Structure 1
Amino acid sequence: MELEFTGPVFEWRGPAPYHFVAVPEDDALVIQDVAAALTYGWGMIPGTLRIGETTWTTSLWPKDGSFVVPLKDKIRQAEGIELGDVVTITLTLDV
Structure 2
Amino acid sequence: MRFEFTAPLWEWSARAEWFFVTVPDEASADIREIPRPPRGFGSVRVSVRVGGSSWTTSIFPDSTVGCYVLPIKKAVRVAEGLAEGGEVAVSLTVLDL
Mapped partners of 1:78, 1:11: distance in 2:
18
> Matches of 2:75 and 2:92 in 1, distance apart?
18
Gaps of 5+ in 2: none
SS of the aligned residue for 1:82 comes to: coil
| One-letter amino acid of the counterpart of residue 78, structure 1 | A
How many corresponding residue pairs?
Answer: 94
Q: Secondary structure at the match of 2:42?
A: coil
Matched residue SS, 1:26: helix
Q: Which amino acid aligns with 1:26?
A: E
Matched, 1:17 2:40: no
**Residue 81 of structure 1: SS of its match in structure 2?**
coil
RMSD across aligned positions (CA): 1.4
Q: Which runs of 4+ in 1 moved over 6 A?
A: none
Question: SS of 1:37's equivalent?
Answer: coil
Q: What residue is the counterpart of 1:49 in the other structure?
A: 48
With normalisation by structure 1, the TM-score equals 0.91
Per-residue Cα deviation, 1:10-36 (whole angstroms, up to 9, x for no partner): 1112244311100110000110011x5
Q: 1 CA distance for matches of 2:3 and 2:53?
A: 16
- What's the % identity of the aligned pairs? 36
CA distance in 2 between counterparts of 1:71 and 1:43 reads: 18
Q: TM-score, normalised by structure 2?
A: 0.89
Higher strand share: 1
CA contact (8 A) 1:38 1:46 kept: no
